[in-house]
Amino acid sequence: MRITLEYFAQLRDLAGCTREERDIDAISLGTLYEQVRRDYQFPLERDQLRVAVNDAFASWDEAPHEGDMVVFIPPVTGG
């Protein structure tokens, strides 16, 4: 299936792009993160991040769907 990934902060710097489309076979968002993490050498463990799908927080064991927009959310530092 084809999804869109969007990156923020240090993950954007490491990925070298703001967003990309990918053909994936991951059965969960957690598996997807491990695949992307390997590609870009993200230093952050999964339990340090949150994940959002289509602009809403999601859980790592959810399955991605065709056309989803997925964002891995590193520790936030607003305020």
Partner 1 sequence: MAVRFVIAAQEMDITPLKQALHLAEAGGYCSFEGWVRNHNHGRVVQALEYQVYEALARKEGTAILEDAMARFEISAAAAMHRSGMLDIGDMAVWIGVSAPHREAAFQACRFIIDAIKERLPVWKKEHYIGGEAQWVACHHHG
Give the interface with partner 1 as residue ranges (CB under 8 A). 6, 8-10, 12-13, 52, 55-57, 71, 73-79
C-beta of 22: minimal distance to partner 1 in Å?
Answer: 19
Rounded CA-CA distance 13/27 in Å is 26
Q: Which residues pair with 3 in a beta bridge?
A: 22
Kindly state the tokens that stand for 63.
Answer: 């399955």
User: Which of 32/70 has CB closer to partner 1?
Assistant: 70
CB nearer to partner 1: pick between 23 and 45: 45
To the nearest whole angstrom, how small is the minimum distance from the Cβ of residue 72 to partner 1? Answer: 11
CB of 76 to partner 1, least distance (A): 6
